[in-house]
Each structure stands twice: as C-alpha cells, then as structure tokens.
Structure 1
Amino acid sequence: MRPFTVGLLATPKAVPELRLAVREHLGRPCPELQLCVTELLTNVITHVGEGTPVTLRISGRATRLRVELTDPDPQARPALRRAAATDESGRGLALLDAVTVRWGVARGDGTKTVWCEL
C-alpha cells in the first residue's frame, strides 16, 4: 500500500470526509481502519478542541497497517477507560483497543501522536 498523509482541521464535518478519503485511497472499504480514523479524530475534537490542526498518516502493508494522528498538544494524553453502560461517551479508545493489534502515544517536540496498528 502506498502511504497516505493528509493535514486537516479537526472538526465534526471532517470525520466523514476523512473516512471517505481513506476508503478511496485504499480502493475498498476497510471498516476497522475507518473506525480507527474516526475515533482518533473524534478524540482530538473532544479533548484538544475543535479546529485543531492535525496530520493523519497511514502506512504499511496489506498484512499490517499503521495509523498515526498527530496534534499540537503534547499534554493531552489519551487514556483507556471503561465507560459505564449509561455513559454517553468514553468508548473511543476501548473500540480502538478492541480492533487493533496494539496502540500507543508518542510525544514529540510540541506534538503528540496517537498511533495504532491493524
């Protein structure tokens, strides 16, 4: 697979547009990858702020894909939590954890990258 990189602003409107761009890049649906992209971008919107500039990168091979979403807030560190049945949010990283081989967070100079591998 050829690498895919796109810079965008983290907004609710960008979520379905990014899912579509990923699908078009792959040339086929990939529900797990599209779910990961959705959850990573939604976490930035929710926890860093709407309108935050981010960069999405997808690389790898058919047997293993790596997704990275970089934002400019190294302090906002995502943490896996277990949402109660009545909670309206808080399941994003649990979904990511369920569909990926592994995931993590890397801090850079003034940035944070949340990544996962499928």
Structure 2
Amino acid sequence: MLATPKAVPELRHLLRHHGYDVRLCASELLTNVIDHLGEGTPVTVRVAHTGSGHTRVEVTDPDPRALPALVRSAAATDESGRGLALLDALALRWGVEQHAERKTVWCELEGEPPRGTVQEPAAPARSSR
C-alpha cells in the first residue's frame, strides 16, 4: 500500500470488522508516515492476534531513521500533533522496531481481532519420505 491521504479511509474500510480503537490507531500510524515521510511512501499494515489476548497493529515503512516522537504539547488551535498522544492513550503499549532498511511502529490493544479477519502463519510444509 502507498501512504496517501486517500489510503487512510480505505484502510479504515478494510479494517471495518475491527473495533474503533484498532481503526483509529492504524489510521494514525498511516497518517504519521504521510506527514513525516511524504505521500506515496510504501507501507505494510498488519493487524494480528498476539497470542495473549491482544490485537497488535503494525505499520512498516522504509525509513529506519525517522522515529515517532510523542508530543504532549499540542495547543487547542493546532491542526496536528495529537496522533501519537491518541495512540498512547488507547494502547496498552507501543513502540518501534528498527531494522537496517525499515522500521515498524506498532501498538497493542486490548482484545482479540474478529475471527476470520487475520491470517495466521501457515503451518510448515511436511516433507514426504
């Protein structure tokens, strides 16, 4: 997916079977990529069950250096600057995984995703002997 303003409502539609908090956090993480890396940046969005009863939302982009910063001083008249504060308030925890050529910003939310909406990893193929 490319990070564009049009992609934000499309992502919310794709996640329509998930709760409001999942849709909001995914939208905010995607919007951060648009705002800080630019429109058209390729991203991967994942929503998965953690195995501990939580839902994990991840957005991966190709810039490991542009790290998110939680700003708690957005004025009432500011048009931006609240995305990570919202995510911080809603999520049980969140963070960044840095790799050599990409980073993943993630958060974990209470509750499991709806059944049938998340692909579980495929079981390894068995060799026939």
> Could you state the TM-score of these two structures normalised by the residue count of structure 2?
0.79
> Are positions 1:43 and 2:10 aligned together?
no
Structure 1 stretches lacking a partner, 5+ long: 1-7
- Partners of 1:87 and 1:105 lie apart in 2 by 25
Partner residue, 1:88? 79
SS of equivalent residue, structure 2 residue 68: coil
Deviation at 1:101? 0.3
Partner residue, 1:65? 55
- Partners of 2:5 and 2:76 lie apart in 1 by 24
Deviation at 1:17? 0.5
User: Any idea what the Cα deviations from partners look like across 1:76-104, whole Å, max 9, x if unmatched?
Assistant: 00010011222111000000001110000
Partner residue, 1:10? 3
User: Any idea what the Cα deviations from partners look like across 1:19-38, whole Å, max 9, x if unmatched?
Assistant: 11111xxxx35100000011
- Partners of 1:96 and 1:41 lie apart in 2 by 12
Identity %: 65
Q: Which has the higher strand share?
A: 1
What do you get for the CA RMSD once the two structures are aligned?
1.3
Q: Which has the higher helix share?
A: 1
- Partners of 2:7 and 2:93 lie apart in 1 by 25
Q: Which amino acid aligns with 1:16?
A: P
- Partners of 2:100 and 2:66 lie apart in 1 by 14
- Partners of 2:101 and 2:7 lie apart in 1 by 23
Larger Rg: 2
- Partners of 2:18 and 2:59 lie apart in 1 by 20
Structure 2 stretches lacking a partner, 5+ long: 110-129
**Corresponding pairs, count:** 107
Query: Following TM superposition, where does structure 1 have runs of at least 4 consecutive aligned residues deviating by more than 3 angstroms?
Result: none
Q: Which amino acid aligns with 2:71?
A: R
